[in-house]
Amino acid sequence: MAVDGKERATGSAGLAVGSGSRLTRVCVRGVLLLGVLISLFPFYWLVVMASGTTEDIYSYPPKLVPGPHLLDNMGRVLDTVDFFGSLFNTIVVAVVGTALVLFFDSLAAFAFAKYEFPGKRFLFGALLATYMIPAQLSLVPQFVTMAEFGWAGSLTALIIPGAANAFGIFWMRQYAQNSLPDELLDAGRIDGAGFFRLYWQVAMPLFRPALAFLGIFTFISIWNDYIWPLVVMIDPDRVTLQVALANLNVLYNTDYSLVMAGALMSVVPLIIVFLIGARHFLRDLAAGATKM
């Protein structure tokens, strides 16, 4: 009887623990779902404003359902600005700039993480110091440099200055230190591999999750950049998308439904890039965890 009572008590305790863990999972999922809804609401509100009129935006109580004017507003955006021309310029700058950042940042991070050379700590400290300088302080000297090279007004002036950045090198270095075993590099050296072969054939396959995140982050940053393209693109016919859409926002009598429609059209490519990049990031991260 004592044994039966002990088993019964153990079973009751296990049931209580199971119920508690189930309740915890439900609460965690509820909080995560609430966070997702809060994160998606600004985009939904953008759709609502882009599909209505300016009067609908100012109405009280505000309308919470999309209106019937989305296609009309998008058509007016296409008639007002050179949307597809500026979109093409932005795609070229974002794609080429992101590719250069991924290459140069990962290459520098590989050297900082796995090689010893004179002045390594000083150079890395100087690199981090440049990250602390506000970008606005470098606008004038950077523009003068681009003008001296004859690049002012060209897409090259938007690509080359951002071909490498301190954040990407720091991020990739931290990832390389934790995910790239020295034993793999030693095995590659035994096989006669040099620096670039070790980087390309050994390090790069392990860098893919970090590169996916850095690629998404860099692409979005370049896509949304406004100040530097506004300064250096002196030809109004070769501006990027954000500068072109700024022409929709005039000083007086702004048609906010038109502005929101332009913002919605500009953010759709970012959503596509994010979904593709996030899928690869999670897949490579899960694969790496499985191998470990």
CA nearest 56: which of 42, 43, 73?
Answer: 73
Ramachandran angles phi, psi of 67, nearest 5°? -95, -175
Average pLDDT over residues 87-100: 94
Q: Give residue limits of the domains in the chain.
A: 2-58, 81-247
Question: Predicted confidence band at 98 (pLDDT cuts at 50, 70, 90)?
Answer: very high
User: Which residue stretches of the chain are H helix?
Assistant: 2-50, 54-58, 70-80, 83-114, 120-131, 139-149, 156-159, 166-179, 182-190, 195-197, 204-224, 227-232, 241-246, 256-291
Model pLDDT, residue 20: 62
Question: Predicted confidence band at 221 (pLDDT cuts at 50, 70, 90)?
Answer: very high
DSSP 246-270: HTTS-SSS--HHHHHHHHHHHHHHH
Calculate ∠ Cα 108-215-282, nearest 5°: 110
Model pLDDT, residue 157: 92
* CATH number 1.10.287.1040 given to 81-247: no
- Is 233 a residue whose pLDDT tops 90? no
Model pLDDT, residue 11: 53
pTM above threshold 0.85: no
- Is 290 a residue whose pLDDT tops 50? no
The gap from C-alpha 247 to its chain's centroid, in whole angstroms, comes to 25
Residue percentage of the chain with pLDDT more than 70: 87
Q: Is the dihedral of CA 13, 18, 19, 25 positive or negative?
A: positive
- Is 13 a residue whose pLDDT tops 80? no
Mean pLDDT of the chain: 84
Task: Report the phi/psi class of residue 128: left, alpha or beta, with left for phi > 0 and alpha for psi in -120 to 50.
Answer: alpha
Q: What is the DSSP letter of 132?
A: T
Cα gap 255→70, rounded to integer Å: 14
